[in-house]
Amino acid sequence: MDLTITNFVLFALLGAAGLVLVCTVVSRTLHGRAERRSLANRVICRLCLHAFEDASHVGTINCPMCCAANEKGRSKGLD
């Protein structure tokens, strides 16, 4: 088959569109995963409603603002 300039431009456009699509999907997947992970570590104080993150696996965490003990919500099925 001979590659004309029209075919070349068409393939280049399709390739660019496909690349953008793949990049979008990968970016959204990574972003969603990071967001879900940070949400799993988020604790909102029941007393002062201060939101903070805690990556430890202990059951109760003391609020850094008012020192009240907060129970951490359990995440199901994740790590």
Instruction: List residues near Zn ion by CB under 5 A.
Output: 45, 47-48, 50, 63, 65-66, 68
- Of 20 and 67, which has the nearer Cβ to Zn ion? 67
Query: Contact 54/37 with Cβ under 8 angstroms?
Result: no
- Of 35 and 53, which has the nearer Cβ to Zn ion? 53
Question: Measured from the CB of residue 62, what is the shortest distance to Zn ion in angstroms?
Answer: 9
- Of 21 and 65, which has the nearer Cβ to Zn ion? 65
Question: Measured from the CB of residue 11, what is the shortest distance to Zn ion in angstroms?
Answer: 59
CA distances from 2 to 7, 11, 20 (A): 9, 13, 27
Among left, alpha and beta (phi > 0; psi -120 to 50; other), residue 67 is left
